[in-house]
Amino acid sequence: MKIPAFKYNINAKEALLSSVFMLLALSAVMVFSASAFHYLITEDTSFFLKRQLMWIGISGAICYFTYMSDYRILQKHYRLGLILTLVMLALVMIPGFGIRVNQSSRWLPLGGGIRFQPSEVAKITVLVFLAGYICRDPVRTRKFWKGFVPAALGVGLLWGLILIEPDLGTSSFILGLGIILMMIAGMRWRYFLAPVAVFTPFLALFTYMRWDMIVHRFQGLLNPEGLHQLRHSLRALGSGGLTGMGVGAGMQKLRYLPEAHTDFVFAVIGEEMGLVGCLCVIALFLVLLWSGVMIARGAKDSFGYLLGAGIILSLGMQAAFNIAVVTASAPTKGIPLPLVTFGGTGLCVTMAQIGILLSIWRISQTTGPAYFSGVNKADLAGADSAGLDKTHQMDGGKDVQR
- Give the model's confidence band at 220: pLDDT under 50 very low, under 70 low, under 90 confident, else very high: low
Residue 270, burial from CB neighbour count under 10 angstroms (0-12, 13-18, 19+): buried
- What pLDDT, on the 0 to 100 scale, is given for residue 388? 39
Bigger pLDDT: 218 or 173?
173
Angle at 353 between CA 135 and CA 176, to 5 degrees: 65
Q: Using CA atoms, how far apart are residues 284 and 10, in angstroms rounded to an integer?
A: 15
Q: Where do the structural domains in the chain lie, given as residue ranges? A: 19-365+374-401
Residue 342, burial from CB neighbour count under 10 angstroms (0-12, 13-18, 19+): buried
Portion of the chain with pLDDT greater than 90, in percent: 46
What are the residues whose beta carbons fall under 8 Å from the beta carbon of 285, sequence distance 6 or more? Answer: 19, 23, 315, 316, 319, 338
Closest to 278 (Cα-Cα) out of 312, 233, 314, 311? 233
Whether the Cβ atoms of residue 16 and residue 350 lie closer than 8 Å to each other? no
Bigger pLDDT: 96 or 92?
92
What is the residue-averaged pLDDT of the chain? 83
Q: pLDDT, tens digit, for every residue of 241-299?
A: 898 898 888 888 887 887 788 888 999 999 999 999 999 999 999 999 999 999 999 99
DSSP 8-state assignment for residue 3 = P
Q: What is the CA radius of gyration of the chain?
A: 22
Bigger pLDDT: 104 or 347?
347
- What pLDDT, on the 0 to 100 scale, is given for residue 9? 59
Whether the Cβ atoms of residue 93 and residue 164 lie closer than 8 Å to each other? yes
Statement: residue 106 has pLDDT above 90: no
What are the residues whose beta carbons fall under 8 Å from the beta carbon of 237, sequence distance 6 or more? Answer: 267, 270, 271, 278, 326, 327
Statement: residue 372 has pLDDT above 90: no
Statement: residue 127 has pLDDT above 80: yes
Strand duo 114-116 + 104-111: pairing: antiparallel
What are the residues whose beta carbons fall under 8 Å from the beta carbon of 76, sequence distance 6 or more? Answer: 132, 374, 375, 376, 379
- What pLDDT, on the 0 to 100 scale, is given for residue 197? 80
DSSP 8-state assignment for residue 289 = H
The winner for highest mean pLDDT among 79-83, 199-203, 234-238, 333-337 is 79-83
Q: pLDDT, tens digit, for every residue of 132-181?
A: 999 988 888 888 888 999 999 999 999 989 988 888 888 889 999 999 99
Residue 259, burial from CB neighbour count under 10 angstroms (0-12, 13-18, 19+): middle
Statement: residue 393 has pLDDT above 80: no
- What pLDDT, on the 0 to 100 scale, is given for residue 57? 95
- Give the model's confidence band at 192: pLDDT under 50 very low, under 70 low, under 90 confident, else very high: confident
Q: Using CA atoms, how far apart are residues 388 and 382, in angstroms rounded to an integer?
A: 10
What are the residues whose beta carbons fall under 8 Å from the beta carbon of 41, sequence distance 6 or more? Answer: none
- Give the model's confidence band at 318: pLDDT under 50 very low, under 70 low, under 90 confident, else very high: very high
- pTM comes to 0.84
What are the residues whose beta carbons fall under 8 Å from the beta carbon of 222, sequence distance 6 or more? Answer: none
Q: pLDDT, tens digit, for every residue of 29-62?
A: 999 988 877 655 556 778 888 889 999 999 999 9
